[in-house]
Amino acid sequence: TKYRKCLAFDFGASSGRLIAGVYDGEKVILEEIYRFKNEPVTINNHLHWNLELLYKHIVSGLEVASKNMVEFNSIGIDTWGVDYCLLNKEGQPIHWPFHYRDTRTEGISSKLPIQFEEFYSKTGIQFLPFNTVYQLYAEFKNSPELNRQAEHLLFMPDLFNYFLTGNKKTEYTIASTSQLLNVEGKQWDCDIIKRLGFPKRLFQEIIFPGEIYGMLDKKHMRKIGMSNSVPVISVGSHDTASAVAGIPIENEDSAYLICGSWSLLGLEIQNPIVNEKSLKESFSNEGGVLNSIRFLKNINGMFLLQQLKKHYNEMFTRELDFADIINAAKLSNKNFSINPNHALFLSPDNVMEAVDAYCISTNQGKPDNLGEWAIAIYNGLTQEFNNQLLNLESITGKKIKHIHMVGGGIQDELLCQMTANVTNKKVIAGPVESSVLGNIMIQLYALGEVSTQSEIRQIIKKSVSLKVYEPQT
């Protein structure tokens, strides 16, 4: 076989990276090309993504890639979910995309003319106050002129793909996070869209993972000094979809836990589960690659530890890193715990104050040092992993054998070991870069190098090294 080189952009809520995957017919070797921070900006009291900077990072990443590599075969982009950009008739962004943690959606969900039960029966998506549908409803309510001005809606990865190719399409897995896609039909739910009063023209043709979004346009080829164009491939453009595609899942009873800003706990299934139990526990049926469904639940994640590091360092003018936080947590002899999915922890101004408030209101007393704040977060996260694992078992009727933990958060060994202990299940940790790997595998699929899910998983197994955590008492 000849070598294939695929470029994967993976945008998370706190950082982004461009990684090349080199496939030799057996396995994929990853090579990091470019990494950058993703920091939201507050404009006019609203939290936005820095669109200009993110776009510059895409171009810089491609420049570095084309300088370092003789040639590459394709590009794929995945990003965090739900966020979008509205474009005007000229195809220009009307404003920088809002951050899902922006507060404009507060209290909006009860104002919609459709009850959540009905949303769930049609879309199969868990309630998260920032789902696209609520963001869009809030935005149209605040700015009725959008009914005239807004012509197209593109999710973040669609937007970047559009910049690179000139084509406006919407990729299926990212669209599924909107709560506007019909879970069975895998198409826009026109009835919901009409009843919410959104202009139908906003919603683009749905394109599936493994299809071609378009060719890299001349303008970018010239800019980065390339003479032959390459396809921009529609991958699982929701980072979580790519992450699931990049896990060496052992069998149908293996749960996964993707550890990034969010923790996503779930199972890969073939047909959506939409029933009273799944509604009650608010589990999502998000779109997966190659006809799969991601049956999962959002649990708060590394965001809490990132915020703890940031707020603690600011407040006490220190420069602690994650290792210091982990050590402090280990040394703590008090056992505080929070519910990480409590509303207090969605966008806290100061996470230590939020932990205090939670602990006081639940009669645990008040944590007052780094270790105590940290252990409250570790206990809270891992206990919630266990609660949701039990829900997952009871909804699906499956007995989960072990948990695949992937994503940046698995570099935190305390988190992995505590997860094994609290759930009393074996944890198989790795790879860290599962989103990138899943992104690259779907590019190889589109290029005709692989053709089934099981082939993909075999290649992944050969490409990664894993670490096992057995439960300890």
Catalogue the active-site residues: 239
Q: Which of 93, 159, 105 is nearest to 132 (CA)?
A: 105
Q: Is 340 in the site for ligand LFR (CB under 6 A)?
A: no
Please identify which residue in 102, 158, 239, 356 interacts with ligand LFR, judged by CB under 6 A.
Answer: 239
Please identify which residue in 278, 298, 341, 439 interacts with ligand LFR, judged by CB under 6 A.
Answer: 298
Q: Is 102 in the site for ligand LFR (CB under 6 A)?
A: no
Q: Which of 377, 419, 375 is nearest to 400 (CA)?
A: 419
Q: Which residues are within 8 A (CB) of 146 and not within 5 positions of it... i.e. 6 or more apart?
A: 86, 94, 139, 140
Complex with ligand LFR: residue 81 or 93, whichever CB lies closer: 81
CA-atom Rg of the chain in angstroms? 22
Q: Ramachandran region of residue 290, left (φ > 0), alpha (ψ -120 to 50) or beta?
A: left
Q: Is 240 in the site for ligand LFR (CB under 6 A)?
A: yes
Complex with ligand LFR: residue 315 or 343, whichever CB lies closer: 343
Complex with ligand LFR: residue 302 or 428, whichever CB lies closer: 302
* Two tokens, residue 417: 């070991």
Q: Is 80 in the site for ligand LFR (CB under 6 A)?
A: yes
The secondary structure of residue 25, as a DSSP letter, is S
Q: Is 100 in the site for ligand LFR (CB under 6 A)?
A: yes
3-state secondary structure of 470: coil
Q: Which of 105, 111, 112, 156 is nearest to 129 (CA)?
A: 105
Complex with ligand LFR: residue 371 or 409, whichever CB lies closer: 409
Q: Is 49 in the site for ligand LFR (CB under 6 A)?
A: no
Q: Is 261 in the site for ligand LFR (CB under 6 A)?
A: yes
**What does the alpha-carbon distance between residue 102 and residue 51 come to, in Å, rounded to a whole number?**
15
CB 84, min distance to ligand LFR, A: 11
Instruction: Show the binding pattern over residues 4-23: x = contacts ligand LFR (CB under 6 A), - = does not.
Output: --------xx----------
Complex with ligand LFR: residue 130 or 312, whichever CB lies closer: 130
Q: Are 209 and 157 in contact (CB under 8 A)?
A: no
**What does the alpha-carbon distance between residue 285 and residue 432 come to, in Å, rounded to a whole number?**
24
Segment interacting with ligand LFR, rule: CB under 6 A, options 24-32, 261-269, 321-329, 396-404: 261-269
The sign one gets for the Cα dihedral 357, 102, 289, 432 is negative
Q: Is 109 in the site for ligand LFR (CB under 6 A)?
A: no
**Site residues, ligand LFR (CB under 6 A):** 12-13, 80-82, 100, 238-240, 260-262, 264, 298
